[in-house]
Structure 1
Amino acid sequence: MAGRLLSQSLLRKIQHIQKFGIHNRSRIGSREIVGYGFNGQASYIDRSDFPMPAVRFRENTPDVQVLREKEKGDWNKLTLEEKKALYRASFCLTFAEMHAPTGEWKSIIGITLLLMSAGIWAYILEKLFVYPELPESFSVERKQAQLKRLIDMQANPIEGLASKWDYENNKWK
C-alpha cells in the first residue's frame, strides 16, 4: 500500500517535470531564455552586480518579434524609439533606475518617530495615572536631613561619606 502511494507521488512529480520542465517553463510563459542567469534558474532579476538575467523581461509579441528581426540587420537603420523598445522588452530597469533613491527612508523615519511619540505618551500617561506620588523622603529637605544624620553618626569614616567631611570646620574636605 505504502509502495503504491510512493510510486503514485513519484509518477505525479515526473509528469509535472515532463509537462512544465525542471526550470518552471510555465512561469515564464513565452519569454525567451537567453542565458544561464544569476543562479542557473530561468528567472528575471534586476541586479547591477549580475546584469544579464536568464530570461527576457517581456513576452514575445508580434511587435517585439518584428523589432528583433530588424535588430539582426544594421543597427544604424533602427530609430531611437525602436532601440528603446528593444531594451524595454529585454530589461525592466536601466542602471540609473536601479540605483535611483526610492525614498523608503522617509517612511522608516516617519514610522520610527510615530512609535517613539507613542512610547513617550504612554510613559506620560502612566506617570500621571498609574504610578503613585513619590514618598516624602524624596523631598530636598528630607534628603539634606538624611545626609546631616549620616555625617553626625560618622557613617563609614574611613572610605565612605564621613571620610569626606571635615568635622573641625563643619564643611566638605
Structure 2
Amino acid sequence: MNNRILITGLRRACIMQRVTMTTDSKAVIGNREVVGFGMNGTESYIDRVDFPMPAIRYKENNPDIQALREKEKGDWKKLSIEEKKALYRASFCQTFAEINAPTGRWKSSIGVILMGISGALWLFIFMKKFVYPPLPVTFEEERQLAQLERMKILEVNPITGLTSRK
C-alpha cells in the first residue's frame, strides 16, 4: 500500500517537473523552433564541431524566414544562393569553417604571460637592490680560492682509496 502511494507521488512529481521544464524553456527560447533532442536533452543552442545539430534554431521565426521555410518545402533548385544562405543563417550561427577558425586569443594570453614575467623580474630587482643585505665577503672569488688552498693545506676531507691514486 505504501509503495503504491510512493510510486504515485513520484509519478506526479515527475509529470509536474516536465510541465515546469517545458514552460520554463519556452520562456528562454522564445519563438524559436525546437528541431531536435539537443545536448543531454536540453533545449539550447550551441555551436560545436563534435555536436553539430543543436536542439533549437539560431534565430526566432519572423515573416521573412517563415516565407523562406514555405518556399524551402518545394524545389530547392528554385531557391537562390542568397535564400539558401539566409535559411542556413536562420538555423545556425556559424559554419564549421568559422567555428574552427583561429580566434587570435593566444596573442592576449602571451601578452599577459609576458607582463607577468616582466613584473616578476622588476620585483626581483627591487628586492635585490633594496631589501636583501649585501652578500658576505666570503662570496668573492679571491676569498674562495684562498679558502680552497687552506683546506688543501689542512687536509680537510682528503680523498683516499683507489680513486686517489694516479
Which TM-score applies when normalising by structure 2? Answer: 0.83
Q: Distance in 2 between matches of 1:60 and 1:22?
A: 19
Give 2:117's aligned residue.
116
Identity of aligned residues (%): 56
Q: How does 1:1-173 map to 2 (within 5 A)?
A: 14=16, 18=19, 21=22, 24-158=25-159
Q: Which has the higher helix share?
A: 2
The two structures, once aligned, show a CA RMSD in angstroms of: 2.5
| CA distance in 2 between partners of 1:91 and 1:61 (Å) | 15
Kept after mapping to 2: 8 A contact 1:57/1:92: yes
Shift of 1:26: 1.2
Instruction: Report the Cα distance in structure 2 between the residues aligned to 1:40 and 1:18, rounded to whole angstroms.
Output: 15
Task: Tell me the distance in 1 between the aligned counterparts of 2:107 and 2:35.
Answer: 38
TM-superposed deviation, 1:29: 0.4
Contact 1:37 1:54 in 2 (8 A): yes
Misfit runs of 4+, over 4 Å: none
Counterpart of 1:137 in structure 2: which amino acid?
T
Deviations 1:119-145 (A, max 9, x none): 001101111111111111111111111
Any conservation in 2 of the 1:37–1:43 contact (CA below 8 Å)?
yes
The aligned length equals: 153
What is the TM-score when the length of structure 1 is the normalising length? Answer: 0.80
Tell whether the 8 Å contact from 1:57 to 1:91 is kept in structure 2 after alignment: yes
